[in-house]
Amino acid sequence: MAVKFLVLVIASVLGLSGVLGADPDPLQDFCVAVKDNKINISPPKSKKDDDKYDHDKDEESPYKVQMSTTNSSDISVVVNVNGAICKNPAMVTGDDFLFKNLVNLGDANNMVGSIVTPANIGMFLGLNTLGISFARIDFKKGGVNPPHTHPRATEILLVIDGSLKVGFVATNNKLFTATVNKNEIFVFPRGLVHFQENVGYGTALAFAALSSQNPGTQQIAPSLFGADPPISDSVLAKAFGLKPEAVDALQVTFSKDKESSWSNEK
């Protein structure tokens, strides 16, 4: 009996880890996000409506929430939630689920020779609660998408044109690499440091799908040498076996005022 109970507990924990390891499941068909999480709060129309929300009947604004307030006029507030506030479903159209910003060639003329054009909750509001996002990555010849992580998402990469050498580093510091050619895919496990390098004879193009509406991107070098306020020279010098003057030079390279030269994300 004890063994069966232990197996049940372990199975339950493993099941929960899978459930909790991704974005929360949606509680409705869709929840198109309200831009900037801003809503108008208006006083109740009558005493009967006091302390009630009216999401469906207010046709004046797609973002209006009716609730009790002491103010006599509408006030605008910003609500911070883990996700985003839903737009009034009655105001949602097909265009809310359409994103056109990935059709154009990205400008990869920067320090690393690549540019990432994301389609996540920050600019594609129809993704809210759906647990997925997308990105276009353009590479110059020899361009690199530098080592980075997505703390909230697994990534699957499809090469559309060219050849990319890709890889990720496991937590035991083992490197897994492969050359990915046109129409081939590669997967990067969630949260692990990974990269792509254009090893073809010309430009390259890839698209990536990620298992979160807001996967996050943390580039390794800018995070460490471009932190604001900066990490102390002594910490970075000891961590990387560098002289303090080398650390200073890297901090200048990745400083906020030079972000346009090293950043490869629109």
Residue owning tokens 């460490």: 224
Widest CA span in the chain: 71
Stated as kind and residue range, the H or E segment containing 253 is helix 244-253
Q: How many residues are there in the chain?
A: 266
148 is in an annotated binding site: yes
55 is in an annotated binding site: no
Q: Which residues are CB-neighbours of 199 under 8 A, at least 6 positions away? A: 163, 164, 165, 179
Q: What is the DSSP letter of 3?
A: H
Q: What whole-number distance in Å separates Cα of residue 43 and Cα of residue 50?
A: 8
CB atoms within 10 A of CB 20: 8
Q: What whole-number distance in Å separates Cα of residue 164 and Cα of residue 53?
A: 51
150 is in an annotated binding site: yes
Reduce the DSSP state of residue 84 to 3 states and report it: coil
Could you give the C-alpha distances from 54 to 50, 65, 86, 200, in angstroms and in order? 10, 6, 13, 56
Binding-site sequence positions: 145, 148, 150, 155, 194
Binding-site sequence positions for oxalate: 145, 150, 155
Binding-site sequence positions for Mn(2+): 148, 150, 155, 194
